[in-house]
Amino acid sequence: MLTTIRNFSIIAHIDHGKSTLADALIQRCGGLSEREMKSQVLDSMELERERGITIKSQTATLNYKSEQSAYTLNLIDTPGHVDFSYEVSRSLSACEGALLVVDAAKGVQAQTIANSSIAVALGIEIVPVINKIDLPAADVDRVCREIEEMAGVDASAAIAVSAKTGVGVDELLAAVVSRVPPPIGDAKAPLQALIIDSWFDKYLGVVILVRVKHGCLRRRQRVRFMVTGEERDCDSLGVFTPKLEMRESLSVGEVGCVITGLKDIAAARVGDTLTAVRRPCAKPLQGFKESKPHVFSSLYPAQPNDYPLLREAAEKLRLNDAALVFETEKSPAFGFGLRCGFLGMLHMEITQERLEREYGLELVLASPTVVYQVLTVAGEEILVDHPGRLPESGSIREIREPIADMTIVTTSMHVGAVMTLASKCRGVQRRVDYASLQVVMIYEMPLAEILGGFFDRLKSATQGYASMDYEFKVFRPAKVVRLDILINGERMDALSSMAIAEEAQSRGRALALKITNSISRQMFDVAVQAAIGGKIIARETVKAMRKNVTAKCYGGDVTRKRKLLEKQKSGKKRMKQFGRVEISQDALMAALRSDEN
Cα–Cα distances in angstroms (integers) from residue 183 to residues 75, 95, 399, in the given order: 14, 8, 48
Query: From the CB of residue 569, how many other CB atoms can be counted at a distance below 10 Å?
Result: 11
Looking at per-residue pLDDT, the higher value among 589 and 434 belongs to 434
Q: Which CATH architecture has domain 192-276?
A: Beta Barrel (2.40)
Domain ranges of the chain: 2-179, 192-276, 295-367, 373-477, 481-592
Q: Is pLDDT at 485 greater than 90 in this prediction? A: no
User: Mean of the per-residue pLDDT values for the chain?
Assistant: 81
Q: Residue 127 has what pLDDT?
A: 93
Determine whether the annotation assigns residue 16 to a binding site.
Answer: yes
Cα–Cα distances in angstroms (integers) from residue 583 to residues 54, 332, 365, 588, in the given order: 39, 12, 16, 7
Cα–Cα distances in angstroms (integers) from residue 400 to residues 374, 384, 394, 470, 504, in the given order: 6, 10, 16, 19, 17
CA 138 – CA 159 distance, rounded (Å): 14
Q: Residue 484 has what pLDDT?
A: 85
Q: Is pLDDT at 445 greater than 90 in this prediction? A: yes
Q: How far does CA 452 lie from the centroid of its chain? A: 15
Determine whether the annotation assigns residue 17 to a binding site.
Answer: yes
Q: How far does CA 532 lie from the centroid of its chain? A: 31
Q: Which CATH architecture has domain 373-477?
A: 2-Layer Sandwich (3.30)
Across 37-47, average pLDDT:
49
Q: Residue 589 has what pLDDT?
A: 54
Angle at 514 between CA 508 and CA 516, to 5 degrees: 100
Per-residue pLDDT of 486-519, as tens digits, reads: 888 778 777 788 888 888 888 888 888 887 877 7
In CATH terms, 2-179 corresponds, of 1.10.3720.10, 3.40.50.300, 3.30.1280.10, 3.50.30.40, to 3.40.50.300
Across 24-29, average pLDDT:
85
Looking at per-residue pLDDT, the higher value among 49 and 573 belongs to 573
Determine whether the annotation assigns residue 20 to a binding site.
Answer: yes
Q: Is pLDDT at 201 greater than 70 in this prediction? A: yes
Q: Is pLDDT at 178 greater than 60 in this prediction? A: yes
Q: Do residues 363 and 314 lie in contact, with contact meaning Cβ atoms separated by under 8 Å?
A: no
Contact partners, residue 246, CB within 8 Å, separation at least 6 = 236, 237, 238
Q: Residue 591 has what pLDDT?
A: 56
Bond into 387 cis (ω within 30): no
Across 153-177, average pLDDT:
90
Cα–Cα distances in angstroms (integers) from residue 547 to residues 517, 582, 583, in the given order: 21, 18, 20
Task: Identify the weakest region by mean pLDDT among 69-73, 166-170, 317-321, 351-355.
Answer: 317-321
The CATH code for residues 481-592 is 3.30.70.2570
CA 549 – CA 448 distance, rounded (Å): 51
pLDDT band at 56 (very low <50, low <70, confident <90, very high): low
Angle at 410 between CA 51 and CA 406, to 5 degrees: 80
Across 32-40, average pLDDT:
52
Calculate Rg over the CA atoms of the chain: 29
Determine whether the annotation assigns residue 154 to a binding site.
Answer: no
Q: Is pLDDT at 443 greater than 90 in this prediction? A: yes
Across 550-557, average pLDDT:
64
Most confident of 33-47, 440-454, 545-559: 440-454
Q: Do residues 79 and 72 lie in contact, with contact meaning Cβ atoms separated by under 8 Å?
A: no
Task: Identify the weakest region by mean pLDDT among 205-219, 503-517, 530-544, 582-596.
Answer: 582-596
Same topology, domains 373-477 and 481-592? Answer is yes
Q: Residue 55 has what pLDDT?
A: 47
Phi-psi region of 463 (alpha: psi -120 to 50; beta: other; left: phi over 0): left
Determine whether the annotation assigns residue 403 to a binding site.
Answer: no
CA 569 – CA 524 distance, rounded (Å): 9
CA 130 – CA 16 distance, rounded (Å): 9
Most confident of 19-28, 100-109, 314-323: 100-109
Determine whether the annotation assigns residue 395 to a binding site.
Answer: no
Q: Residue 159 has what pLDDT?
A: 93
Q: Do residues 351 and 340 lie in contact, with contact meaning Cβ atoms separated by under 8 Å?
A: yes
In the CATH hierarchy, which fold is given to the domain comprising 295-367? Alpha-Beta Plaits (3.30.70)
Catalogue the E-assigned strands of 236-387. 236-240, 244-247, 249-250, 255-259, 273-276, 295-301, 325-331, 335-342, 363-365, 369-370, 372-376, 381-384
Contact partners, residue 123, CB within 8 Å, separation at least 6 = none
CA 317 – CA 137 distance, rounded (Å): 42
According to DSSP, residue 112 is labeled: H
End-to-end CA distance of the chain: 59
* Helix ranges (DSSP H) in 94-221: 110-122, 140-146, 169-179
CA 164 – CA 236 distance, rounded (Å): 36
Q: Residue 577 has what pLDDT?
A: 46
Q: Residue 200 has what pLDDT?
A: 74
CA 494 – CA 589 distance, rounded (Å): 11
Across 176-182, average pLDDT:
91
pLDDT band at 102 (very low <50, low <70, confident <90, very high): very high
Torsion of CA 187, 189, 190, 196, to 10 degrees: -50
Q: Residue 19 has what pLDDT?
A: 81
CA 246 – CA 259 distance, rounded (Å): 11
Task: Identify the weakest region by mean pLDDT among 87-91, 127-131, 280-284, 553-557.
Answer: 553-557
Task: Identify the weakest region by mean pLDDT among 264-268, 455-459, 520-524, 545-549.
Answer: 545-549
Q: Is pLDDT at 39 greater than 80 in this prediction? A: no
The count of C-alpha atoms lying within 13 angstroms of the C-alpha of 34, restricted to the half-sphere facing its C-beta, is 0
Per-residue pLDDT of 105-125, as tens digits, reads: 988 888 888 888 888 888 899
Q: Residue 511 has what pLDDT?
A: 83
Q: Residue 329 has what pLDDT?
A: 86
Determine whether the annotation assigns residue 133 to a binding site.
Answer: yes
Angle at 143 between CA 138 and CA 144, to 5 degrees: 130
Per-residue pLDDT of 247-303, as tens digits, reads: 899 988 888 889 888 877 667 777 788 899 988 888 887 766 666 788 888 888 888
Q: Residue 596 has what pLDDT?
A: 41
Q: Do residues 8 and 93 lie in contact, with contact meaning Cβ atoms separated by under 8 Å?
A: no
Looking at per-residue pLDDT, the higher value among 372 and 547 belongs to 372
Looking at per-residue pLDDT, the higher value among 52 and 570 belongs to 570
Q: Residue 420 has what pLDDT?
A: 93
Determine whether the annotation assigns residue 292 to a binding site.
Answer: no
**Percentage of the chain lying above the pLDDT 90 cut:** 16
Q: How far does CA 216 lie from the centroid of its chain? A: 35
CA 174 – CA 156 distance, rounded (Å): 16
